[in-house]
Amino acid sequence: MPRHLREVDELIQRPRDDDAADQRAGDRDRDHLAPVVILEERAAEHRNRRRADQEANDHDCRVHVSEHAASYVATMSSTLPVHDGYVTIDGNRTWYRSVGADAPGRLPLLLLHGGPGATHQYLQPLEALAHGGRRVIFYDQIGCGRSDHPVDPAFYTVRRFVDEVDALRAQLDLPAVHVLGQSWGGMLAMEYALTRPPGLASIVVADSPASMVLWVSEANRLRAELPPEVERTLREHEAAGTTTDPAYLAACEVFYRRHVCRLATWPDCVNDAFASLATDGFVYNVMNGPSEFHCIGTLKDWDITARLPEIDVPTLLLSGRYDEATAAVVAPIQAGIRGSEWIVFEESSHMPHVEEPAAFNAAVRGFLAGVESRRT
């Protein structure tokens, strides 16, 4: 994701139907230009900033975040044992990184990133969970990041990603494991739990739907609350099929700044993940579509709501107050998975692990410790 334009920041604060507020914001806009004109005028800058982010694609998450997040991102320490490698699945390589070591009575935590088509990078703050005696295992899903990138669209199915989790566990010798999935990763975690794999101790489902139809409905409800000129830009480019246009991407960013990550300055691990997605959005476009609310990919009709009662492992649901995974999206999951717990982070949107890392990590640690105490 490119660094954020000042004009986009102002648009985020503007009410949709308040003419007086519109006028005040208009007075603040440089040269009194309409916001969409500004977005189009600055398209070249937007594109250049995206290119600069792409150059940081493989960097570790550097600390340029708000003070409340900095201490948790900074806990990523070289003192922890770290091992990078690949597993091979049906001839394709999947990259992984294992951080930390398991203390007696503690099980490893396997992290499933979002997208589909993103990378492990934006989950790097969760490396803090390795402190105190727990392996935390990141990986780039097939088609993403440092893993191999098959080019056949038909290759990318939900079942393929479920099988990848199984293969990772087998080849990394994870007979018992917790699984945490964020966004699409949470969808994948639920799909994996539905296969009832042996040794799955628990799942943590962060910021995820059980129905893409409901997800898109809620995303479009949130989108309707955007400033009219931003909504108009989105609608016009979607109708024209020009969803790679910088003006469309900048308009999407207004939504993302409200409902994906609300930090004034995004940490580089988040920017790096978005830059990777911008560099290679193949999987995202095949399975999702051009944006969070314009879902025209193979997942557009995905819905496991009716099967949620089949999930029989301890489940923790996490979401943000301003999340695109709204309360209406998460509530059916809590209702469907017996005994599931649900925590809402009041200052967060779609990335509470970045926006409120202390509270997020404490919630995950407490949940995992509780599950493990009941296993002994």
Q: Which are the catalytic amino acids?
A: 183, 323, 350
Q: What CA–CA distance (Å, rounded) separates 35 from 30? A: 10
Distance between CA atoms of residues 223 and 234, nearest Å? 9
Q: How far is CA 342 from CA 60, 210, 258, 272, 360, in A?
A: 31, 14, 22, 29, 12
φ, ψ (nearest 5 deg) of residue 181: -120, 140
**Nearest residue to 46 via CA among 317, 253, 221, 204:** 253
Q: How many CA atoms lie within 13 A of 242 on its CB side?
A: 12
Q: Find the angle CA(204)-CA(208)-CA(211) to the nearest 5 degrees.
A: 125
> Are 316 and 344 spatial neighbours (Cβ–Cβ below 8 Å)?
no
Q: Calculate helix-pair angle for 184-194, 158-171, nearest 10 degrees.
A: 70
